[in-house]
C-alpha cells in the first residue's frame, strides 16, 4: 500500500489571531457606574423605602380627605391649591432630603470603602483609569441620585392623586377640581428642574469635597470632612461675628442658594413656580460657575489621591 503524504508549504499556512476586544471609554464608564450601583444598593433602595412608608401614611390620612375637600369649597383657586398641595410638597421635600442624605453617605464611603476592604488592589489591576473610576463615582450624587429621586417623587405624586381620586369618588365628591388644581405634568416639570438645579448642580462642590476626603482619610470620613468647615466658621465667628462661610456651605448642600425662596418656608417646595429662577438667570449666576470650578479642582485632587493613596 502506497501512502501519499501531502506537504504543506509554509507560505500557504494562514495564521489567524484573534484581535483584542476593544472597549470604548464610554462603555468603560458605563460599567463603572453599574458597578457602583451593584455595590451600593442603598442609592435606590433608600428612596424607595422612604416613599413606601410615606405612601402608607398618606393612605391612612385619606380617611379625612372628603371632609377636607368639602371644607375647602368656599376658598378661591389660589388658597384651594395651597391647601390640597401640602402632601405633595411634603412628598417632594422628603425625597429631596433623603437624596441629600444618600449622596453624603455615598460620597463618604466611595473612595474610603475600597481602601478599607483593600478591594482597590483588584480594581487597580483592571485596565480602568483612576479618572474614569472617580468620575463614575462622582456621577452617582451628581446624576444618578437626582434622577432616582425625581422619578420616585413623580411616581409618588401619581399614586397619591389616583388614591385621592378613588377615595373622593367613593365618597360622592367630585374629583374634577382636584385634577384641575393639581397639574401632575406641571409639578413633574418643576420638580425635575428644581432637582437638576438645586440638588444636582448646586451642591457639587460639597459632594466633591467629601469624595476628596474619602480618598484621603484613614477613618471617620464625615468627621474629617466637617472639621475644616467648623474650624473656618468658628474663626470667622470669633474674628468677624458672622457666619457667612457656614451659611454658604449649608446653602450649597441643601440647594437653598439656587432658588429665589426667601419669602416663607412653604415656598421652598418645588411645586411652587415662584421659587425657581429662569434657566438663563441660573446658568449666568457666578455662584454656579464658581462652584463648578471648585468641583473640578476637588475632583482632580481626588483622582490624584486615588492614584497614590495606599490601602488602609
Any domain includes 19:
no
pLDDT over 50 (residue 135): yes
Are 188 and 118 contacting, i.e. CB atoms less than 8 angstroms apart? no
Give the separation between CA 47 and CA 116, rounded to whole angstroms: 26
Q: Quick one: what percent of the chain has pLDDT higher than 90?
A: 52
Are 305 and 216 contacting, i.e. CB atoms less than 8 angstroms apart? yes
Any domain includes 45:
yes
Domain count, the chain: 1
Torsion of CA 293, 295, 297, 298, to 10 degrees: 160
Residues composing the chain: 312
Q: Which residue has the higher pLDDT, 264 or 99?
A: 99
Are 104 and 140 contacting, i.e. CB atoms less than 8 angstroms apart? no
Any domain includes 270:
no
Q: What pLDDT does residue 47 have?
A: 95
Are 50 and 91 contacting, i.e. CB atoms less than 8 angstroms apart? no
Any domain includes 2:
no
Taking residue 298's Cβ as centre, other Cβ atoms within 10 Å add up to 21
Any domain includes 289:
yes
DSSP for residue 141: I
Q: Which residue has the higher pLDDT, 76 or 18?
A: 76
Global pTM reads 0.85
Query: For residue 208, which of 252, 246, 163, 171 has the smallest C-alpha distance?
Result: 252
Beta strands in the chain (DSSP E): none
Any domain includes 267:
no
- Give how far Cα 194 sits from Cα of 152, 155, 255, 266, 276, Å: 14, 16, 9, 15, 7
Give the separation between CA 89 and CA 97, rounded to whole angstroms: 12
Any domain includes 198:
yes
pLDDT one-digit tens code per residue, 117-132: 999 888 888 888 999 9
Give the separation between CA 229 and CA 223, rounded to whole angstroms: 10
pLDDT over 70 (residue 51): yes
Domain containing 46 equals 41-255+275-308
Q: Which residue has the higher pLDDT, 307 or 310?
A: 307
Grid cell for residue 24 = 470604548
Any domain includes 31:
no
Radius of gyration of the chain (CA): 27
pLDDT over 50 (residue 267): no
Give the separation between CA 191 and CA 281, rounded to whole angstroms: 18
pLDDT one-digit tens code per residue, 179-233: 777 777 888 888 888 898 889 999 999 999 999 999 999 999 999 999 999 999 9
Amino acid at each position: 500500500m502506497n501512502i501519499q503524504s501531502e506537504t504543506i508549504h509554509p507560505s500557504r499556512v494562514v495564521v489567524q489571531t484573534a484581535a483584542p476586544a476593544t472597549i470604548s471609554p464610554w462603555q468603560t464608564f458605563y460599567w463603572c457606574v453599574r458597578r457602583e450601583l451593584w455595590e451600593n444598593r442603598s442609592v435606590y433602595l433608600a428612596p424607595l423605602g422612604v416613599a413606601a412608608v410615606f405612601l402608607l401614611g398618606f393612605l391612612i390620612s385619606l380617611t379625612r380627605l372628603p371632609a377636607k375637600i368639602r371644607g375647602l369649597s368656599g376658598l378661591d383657586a389660589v388658597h384651594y391649591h395651597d391647601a390640597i398641595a401640602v402632601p405633595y410638597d411634603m412628598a417632594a421635600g422628603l425625597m429631596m432630603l433623603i437624596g441629600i442624605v444618600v449622596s453624603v453617605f455615598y460620597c463618604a464611603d466611595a473612595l474610603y470603602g475600597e481602601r478599607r476592604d483593600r478591594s482597590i488592589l483588584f480594581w487597580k489591576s483592571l485596565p480602568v483609569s483612576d479618572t474614569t473610576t472617580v468620575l463614575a463615582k462622582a456621577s452617582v450624587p451628581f446624576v444618578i441620585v437626582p434622577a432616582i429621586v425625581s422619578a420616585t417623587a413623580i411616581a409618588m405624586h401619581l399614586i397619591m392623586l389616583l388614591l385621592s381620586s378613588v377615595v373622593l369618588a367613593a365618597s360622592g365628591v367630585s374629583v374634577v377640581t382636584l385634577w384641575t388644581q393639581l397639574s401632575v405634568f406641571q409639578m413633574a416639570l418643576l420638580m425635575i428642574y428644581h432637582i437638576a438645579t438645586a440638588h444636582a448642580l448646586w451642591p457639587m462642590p460639597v459632594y466633591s469635597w467629601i469624595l476628596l476626603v474619602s480618598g484621603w482619610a484613614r477613618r471617620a470620613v464625615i468627621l474629617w470632612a466637617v472639621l475644616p468647615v467648623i474650624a473656618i466658621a468658628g474663626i470667622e465667628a470669633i474674628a468677624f461675628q458672622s457666619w457667612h462661610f457656614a451659611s454658604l456651605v449649608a446653602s450649597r448642600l441643601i440647594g437653598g442658594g439656587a432658588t429665589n425662596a426667601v419669602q416663607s418656608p412653604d415656598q421652598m417646595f418645588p411645586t411652587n413656580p415662584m421659587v425657581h429662577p429662569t434657566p438663563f438667570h441660573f446658568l449666568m449666576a457666578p455662584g454656579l460657575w464658581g462652584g463648578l470650578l471648585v468641583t473640578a479642582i476637588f475632583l482632580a485632587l481626588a483622582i490624584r489621591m486615588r492614584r497614590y493613596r495606599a490601602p488602609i
